[in-house]
Amino acid sequence: MMQKTGLMLCSIVLLLSVSGLSHAGLAEFERLYGEVLESYWRPAVTIRGVETTVFDYALMTRDARKPGSLFEQALKAIEGVDSTRLQNPNEAKAFWINAYNFAAMRLIVDHYPVDSIRSLSISLIKYPWSKKAIRIGNTRYSLKEIEKDILLGQFNDPRIVFTVSCAAVSCPDRTAKPFSAQMLENPGKGLSLDRSTRTLTLSWILNKDRQLFQSREKGVLDFILPYLDKDTREWLEVNPVEISYFEHDWTLNDLAQAN
């Protein structure tokens, strides 16, 4: 049975401009990565009670293993990007978000068939985030390095945690286009408010990365309030609630896993 979220969903929108791509390598990667997304992205389905957008990883993997495939071309294109030339902060942020999401897909494709990014086929300790997943320029990066050291470390924007997707059904939904705006708005992922029991259930991401919100007076609640509709925001401002979090499901966001 599909997880219910109650009355409201949390819409957290991070708008990034990716216009004016002045670097040939970056433009080529974005074009090819966009074609990969358009070719294998599929609309939301239900997997283990969670509604989530998915990829047809079986088809993606079959195609990727052919010489000169679209996936192979995208890999070569990102290797040619000179990230030191990304002077515009929004341009750089958008690139590294796309790089993270593409690298996560690459880990799946290289080891498919798997049912989770935490598969033993990818990492014997079930921690794929430390594996060198993609080469950009002359440097190989892990998912952890891209998210923690570059995206969170350099841009100091906690909303970034809602833009990187770890290829699991409980992770932020993916769109059919390269990143320019990412919105968290999905049953079983965003926000559920039960006013009768004064219970606020939030995305597991907000719990995993709670240290990002500790400097706020009310912690994570202060962070989400600006993104809620007026009625919900005003109710939460005057009513104390107990905060809980959705359970995380590491099942792969794969069309083959659909119920």
Record the pTM: 0.82
**Domain residues of the chain, as ranges?**
23-181+249-257
Radius of gyration of the chain (CA): 19
Q: What is the pLDDT of residue 216?
A: 67
Q: What is the pLDDT of residue 189?
A: 62
Q: What is the pLDDT of residue 211?
A: 84
Q: Residue-wise pLDDT tens for the chain (259 aa)?
A: 344 333 233 333 443 433 343 467 898 999 999 999 999 999 999 999 999 999 999 999 999 999 999 999 999 999 999 998 888 888 899 999 999 999 999 999 999 999 999 999 999 999 999 999 999 999 999 999 999 999 999 998 888 888 899 899 999 888 888 875 333 344 456 678 999 999 999 988 888 888 887 666 678 888 888 888 899 999 999 999 999 998 889 999 999 999 7
Q: What is the pLDDT of residue 242?
A: 94
Q: What is the pLDDT of residue 1?
A: 36
Q: What is the pLDDT of residue 206?
A: 86
Q: What is the pLDDT of residue 6?
A: 31
